[in-house]
Structure formats: structure tokens, C-alpha cells
Structure 1
Amino acid sequence: MILLISDLHLEQERPDITRAFLHFLQTRAVHAEALYILGDFFEVWIGDDAISPFQRTISTALRELSETGTQIFLMHGNRDFLIGKAFCREAGCSLLNDPTLLELPSGPVLLMHGDSLCTRDEAYMRMRRILRNPLTLWVLRHLPLSTRHKLARKLRNESRSQTRMKAADIVDVTPDEVVSTMRQHGVRTLIHGHTHRPATHKLEIDGQTATRIVLGDWDRQGWALQIDDQGMRQSAFSLSD
């Protein structure tokens, strides 16, 4: 069994999500061969050297899970793209490239965070190219912590205000980009997060049926996609269970 989750946006201000996640690790993930976290695991991450006691609680829980035999894979999101190798070593997880091909008995599956598919949001895509540039990443990691905290708050506030102002189709994936990406990687199944719109979409690529699964975000409820011998099933659950 494999589990996939995304967009938990873990932060100290949401203890309900944290409690639900720790419970999820202890009751479901502990029985899985692998757990894939497809981005925006944390609400904000300003560098491995700035890990807080709260974030260390999460890394400890992941390490404990990994020691039971469950493999943990973590992909960067648009909120936590500064997570580095030091955190992963501490948490017992492996960083995934975005995108990544997951080989299953039923065929290859493409895993993505999903923000790179939102090409109609031209302002965001410009900012993404700047922030993900290796030189920018180096500079960000070497800024004083106080500066990084201020910059993170600024980007976070701007992102929230701009998202509220943009049309729904602008902040969703671009259909043509989805088809192009799936065709490029030779897959008929794509799994991603980012848009906070959990659903299973059927589409056609070169005359063949294809599937795009959008993982749900953890806010009013939690979401997890389970892959096993019975297929793929995404389900929601209460954060208070």
C-alpha cells in the first residue's frame, strides 16, 4: 500500500491539522510501504538552519515512522521550496524532483506539486522562475534569519491577497499544459496537489483515456490517496477523529 498526501500547510497556529497528521502517521502511514508528500507540507519554510521546535516535532515524527520501515518521500511546494537535505536527513525522508515518475505494476504515474501546471497565472509563473533559480536559492539561504522571516511574511501575504483577486480558472491548472506534460513523460495518470480542488478528472490524450487526480488540502478536513491492489482511492476524514 502507498499513501499520497499534499498541502497540509503545517504551522503552529493550526494545532488541529498537526494533531490529525501525527495521528495519521501512527494509524495509517505506519502500515504503508511508502508515504509521498507532494508539496506545501509546511505553510512556510525559510531554511533548514531556521528549524523551529514545532517543525522539529514534525521531523521527529517522520523519523519515527521511517524507522518502522515506511519509506517517506517529500516534494517541494510553492510554500516550502527551501526544504533541504539537512531536514530530510533529520526526518528520515528523501527529496523528490518535481516532476517524478512513480513506477507501479499498472504503469507509470507522474507525481507533481502542481503549481507549474498553472501557466495562465503569468505573474505567479514569473515569480516562480525567479525564486527557483539556483542563484536566487543560494542568496535566500544565506540571508540573515530576520530578513528571511520578513520576506516570507511579505510573500505569504501577497500570495493570499492576489489569489483572492484572481479568477478561478487563472489559479487552476491549464488543460493544455496538463496534456503536454503527460504526453512528454509518456504517462496516462497524473497525481498532483496545489490547487486545493480534490477530484478525479478523465481526459483523452492521443486517443487514449487518461486520468488526473488532484489531492485535497488539509483545512476543514484531511485527504489521502491510497494505492493498493484494489486501485486508487482518495478519501477525506475529519481532523478531529
Structure 2
Amino acid sequence: MGDLWSGLTQAFWLVVTLDKELVEISWRSLRITLSALVLASAIAMPLAAFLAVRRFRARRAFIAVMNALMGLPPVVVGLVVYVLLSRSGPFGVLGLLFTPTAMIIAQIIIIVPLIASIAHQSLRDLWQEYHDLLISMNVTQWQKMKTLLWDARRALLTAALAGFGRAIGEVGAIMIVGGNIDHATRVLTTAIALETGKGNFALALSLGFVLIALAVAVNLAIHWLGRTEREGRW
């Protein structure tokens, strides 16, 4: 019990004093995750809008596959990205393996289906309301998509925050493609796994506190945005 209390005390002190290593790892995690989130959102949200307004033969099958990919095992994603970026892979010449860029690529693949699926549900409902109006105005496909994306911006932000929550807590894929290299690719989740294995519970707990704080902040933001969205409809 004494060791546990001592570890918690040291962990709290590391957070309060903004320990240099703790800040470095936390900032790198945020930078990588936010970069992946911006790029993933730029792919997923227009895709979701396109699927909402456009009808084509394989649309239902495409949506079903997209929804299924929400549960894509991150370790498998990491393995595929590793093979593609390794020296013997097709993109090995770029030298991206064990870099933050490789971690961003893995996170993008993981969260694009999640963001696209959540965004599509909101845009599909909104399209049912706007369908007759936009058709009567004879606007282009791109204008329809822009209108939906703008009017559903709060719901889309909720989808993006859900993607952020998934990405910030990911460990399997980024451990494989990033290598958990100190001062280069070490992030919150991989550092927690490493420091726990080393028995450095104080740093591991402090990193865990930061990760929990980020997760709670994201969940509170999603709850607040969802409530605001519901109130705005009344």
C-alpha cells in the first residue's frame, strides 16, 4: 500500500511540475494525433457527404464495408503499414518507417472509417430534410455536399472528436510502425507500456493521468456538442 501511495504521489508531482519528459511525450502524442485527425477528417467527411447525396449501384455495399471497417483491428493496420513502408515494401524508398509520419498514416487508416460512418449517419438524416429543396434549386453535386457539410458542422465535429478519442488511445499499430523510439516516436500509450514494464510506475501513472484527462475532455466535449445540437433543433 505504501509503494502504491508513493507512486501516486510521485506521479501527481510530475504532472504538477510539468516534468520535461512528460511534457515532451504528451505534446508529441497531441501533435501526431491532431495531424492524423485533420487529414482523416478531410478524407472522411467529403466521402460521407458524397455517400449521402449520390446514389450508385454499389453504394449500400460500400457503406456496409465502411461500417464494418470501424472495428478494424489496429494491430492488423500496423502490420499492413509496416509491410508497405519497410525496405522490401513498395514505399520503402521513402524511409518513413519508425517515424511520426508512419504513425500518422496508421492512425488515419484506423479512424477514417469511424469518422465517415458517424458523419454519414448525420448527413443522411439531414439530406432527407434538404433533398426536395436542393433538387428544386438545381444545384450541383458539390454544392449539395457543401451545404450538408456546413449545416451539419456540429455533428461533424462530434464525429471528429470520436476519431480523436480512438486515435489518442491507440497503442498496437503505432508501436509497430513507430518503434517507440525515445525523443522521436514515443507517445503516451507506448510510453505507458514501456515504463510499466520497466517498473517506473510514477512516470507511467503520470502519463496515464494525462491520457485519462484527454479522454475525459473529449467525452465531455462530445456530450456538450450533442446536447447543443439537440437543443438547436427545437
TM-score for the superposition, normalised by structure 2: 0.26
Between 1 and 2, higher relative CO (CA 8 Å, sep ≥ 6) is seen in 2
Structure number with the higher strand fraction is: 1
